Chains A and B, each alone.
Chain A
Amino acid sequence: GAGVSQSPSNKVTEKGKDVELRCDPISGHTALYWYRQSLGQGLEFLIYFQGNSAPDKSGLPSDRFSAERTGGSVSTLTIQRTQQEDSAVYLCASSLTKGTHGYTFGSGTRLTVV
């Protein structure tokens, strides 16, 4: 597609439920990133995928968070047993390759845990 697409744009869930957030990167982009942004804060790196290599999961805050990327394209970020502190905007970005190419971000998924 023309840009990075994320769905849903908004998600309200009850504490303790699982949620799945989806990211469709730009076609042909091999690198995909997930970040989250809490209200009024900067971006926090979560996970990075590059082609068929093992992902860099160093930013995932707990084992309740996981992500996968199927077929080198679409990615899903899963949060199990959501907590109120998980409330944030979850942003996905893709780039042509890892390196000196700029990232293109999606508009994010606003997750609210009540």
Chain B
Amino acid sequence: DAKTTQPTSMDCAEGRAANLPCNHSTISGNEYVYWYRQIHSQGPQYIIHGLKNNETNEMASLIITEDRKSSTLILPHATLRDTAVYYCIVYQTGANNLFFGTGTRLTVIP
């Protein structure tokens, strides 16, 4: 069942930051926010995840609001290769699978 709401599509200029929002207003205290992306004709790729605190890795940053009802994935300097569908997923510890909704189709424009 979908626990997240994401815009259907977004554009971003190459070299600029891409900020992808996600609403998860019914998230529970033991549920994590995960982000994956799927480049055309490939399997999904793990990007980042977090519980309460903001997280950063070599791919992206994840900003989670204090009330945890929404989050933003930030790609600091988008490249053409970042064009993909980005999935925001709420995952409950111990659940048997991740539910992938329809995601946000990000198009990076030259």
Q: Which positions 29-60 of chain B face chain A at CB distance < 8 Å?
A: 32, 34, 36, 41-46, 49
Q: How far is the CB of A45 from chain B (nearest CB, A)?
A: 4
Given contacts A103-B44, A106-B43, A107-B43, A42 and B100 within 8 Å (CB-CB): yes
Q: Which of B13-21, B71-79, B91-99 contacts A (4 or more CB under 8 A)?
A: B91-99
Q: Which residues does chain A contribute within 8 Å of B32, judged by CB atoms?
A: 100
Q: Which residues does chain A contribute within 8 Å of B41, judged by CB atoms?
A: 107
Chain B residues touching A, majority SS? loop
Given contacts A42-B101, A42-B103, A98 and B44 within 8 Å (CB-CB): no
Bitwise, A45-64 to B at CB < 8 A (1) or not (0) is 10010100000101100000
Is the CB–CB distance between B43 and A93 below 8 Å?
Answer: yes
Q: How far is the CB of B23 from chain A (nearest CB, A)?
A: 17
Is the CB–CB distance between A105 and B43 below 8 Å?
Answer: yes
Q: Which residues does chain A contribute within 8 Å of B5, judged by CB atoms?
A: none
Q: Whole-angstrom distance between the alpha carbons of A56 and B42 in the complex?
A: 25
Q: Which residue of B lies closest to A50 (CB)?
A: B96
Q: Whole-angstrom distance between the alpha carbons of A43 and B85 in the complex?
A: 12
Bitwise, A80-95 to B at CB < 8 A (1) or not (0) is 0000000000010100
Chain B contact-residue range equals 20 to 34
Q: How far is the CB of A110 from chain B (nearest CB, A)?
A: 9
Q: Does B70 contact A (CB under 8 A)?
A: no
Q: Which residue of B lies closest to A105 (CB)?
A: B43
Q: Whole-angstrom distance between the alpha carbons of A100 and B87 in the complex?
A: 16
Q: Which residues does chain A contribute within 8 Å of B46, judged by CB atoms?
A: 102-104
Q: Whole-angstrom distance between the alpha carbons of A58 and B1 in the complex?
A: 13
Q: Which residues does chain A contribute within 8 Å of B45, judged by CB atoms?
A: 105
Q: How far is the CB of A61 from chain B (nearest CB, A)?
A: 15
Is the CB–CB distance between A108 and B97 below 8 Å?
Answer: no
Q: Which residues does chain A contribute within 8 Å of B96, judged by CB atoms?
A: 48, 50, 56, 58, 98
List the 4 closest A-B pairs by CB distance, nearest first.
A105-B43, A102-B46, A43-B100, A45-B97
Beyond known contacts A42-B87, A107-B41: 18 more, CB 8 A cutoff: A35-B100, A42-B101, A42-B102, A56-B96, A58-B96, A93-B43, A99-B93, A100-B91, A102-B34, A102-B36, A102-B46, A102-B49, A103-B46, A105-B44, A105-B45, A107-B42, A107-B43, A108-B43
